[in-house]
Amino acid sequence: MSVTEILFAPLLKADSGRPLITHYDDAAGTRVELSRATVANWAAKTANWLRDEHDVEPGDRVAVLLPAHWQTTGVLLGAWWCGAHVVMGADSGGAGAKVAVVPPGGTADADVVAVASLHPMGLGSGAAVDYNDDVRVHGDDFTPWDAVAGSAPALGESTVDQLVARARELAEALGDQPRVLSTLEWNTPSDVLEGFIAVLAAGGSLVQVTNPDAGRLAARRDVEKVSVTLPLG
Dump pLDDT digits (tens) for 165-176: 999 999 999 999
Query: Average pLDDT for residues 5-13, to the nearest whole number?
Result: 97
What confidence category does residue 232 fall into, taking pLDDT thresholds of 50, 70 and 90? Answer: confident
Q: What angle do CA 148, 192, 119 make, to 5 degrees?
A: 100
pLDDT score at 174: 97
Compute the mean pLDDT over every residue in the chain, rounded to the nearest whole number.
Answer: 95
Question: Can you give the chain as a three-state secondary structure string?
Answer: CCHHHHHHHHHHHHCCCCEEEEEEECCCCEEEEEEHHHHHHHHHHHHHHHHHHHCCCCCCEEEECCCCCHHHHHHHHHHHHCCCEEECCCCHHHCCEEEEEECCCCCCCEEEEEECCCCCCCCCCCCCCEHHHHHHCCCCCCCCCCCCCCCCEEECCEEHHHHHHHHHHHHCCCCCCCEEEECCCCCCHHHHHHHHHHHHHCCCEEEEEECCCHHHHHHHHHHCCCCEEECCC
Burial 2-40 (b: 16+ CB within 10 A, else e): bbbbbbbbebbeeeeeebbbbbbbbeeeeebebbbebbb
Rounded CA gap, 56 and 79, in Å? Answer: 9
Rounded CA gap, 24 and 128, in Å? Answer: 28
Q: What is the set of domains in the chain, with CATH numbers?
A: 3-230 (3.40.50.12780)
C-beta atoms surrounding 166 within 10 Å = 18
pLDDT score at 173: 96
What is the torsion angle, in degrees rounded to the nearest 10, for the CA atoms of residue 63, residue 67, residue 69 and residue 74? 0
pLDDT score at 90: 55
Query: Average pLDDT for residues 125-146, to the nearest whole number?
Result: 94
Q: Which of 44, 35, 88, 41 is nearest to 64 (CA)?
A: 88
pLDDT tens profile 34-60: 999 999 999 999 999 999 999 999 999
Query: Average pLDDT for residues 200-217, to the nearest whole number?
Result: 95
Rounded CA gap, 59 and 61, in Å? Answer: 6
pLDDT tens profile 177-196: 999 999 999 999 999 999 99
What confidence category does residue 95 fall into, taking pLDDT thresholds of 50, 70 and 90? Answer: confident
pLDDT score at 96: 86
Phi, psi of 53 (to 5 degrees): -95, -30
Query: Average pLDDT for residues 138-163, to the nearest whole number?
Result: 95
What confidence category does residue 160 fall into, taking pLDDT thresholds of 50, 70 and 90? Answer: very high
pLDDT score at 145: 87
At residue 91, does pLDDT exceed 60? Answer: no
What confidence category does residue 97 fall into, taking pLDDT thresholds of 50, 70 and 90? Answer: very high
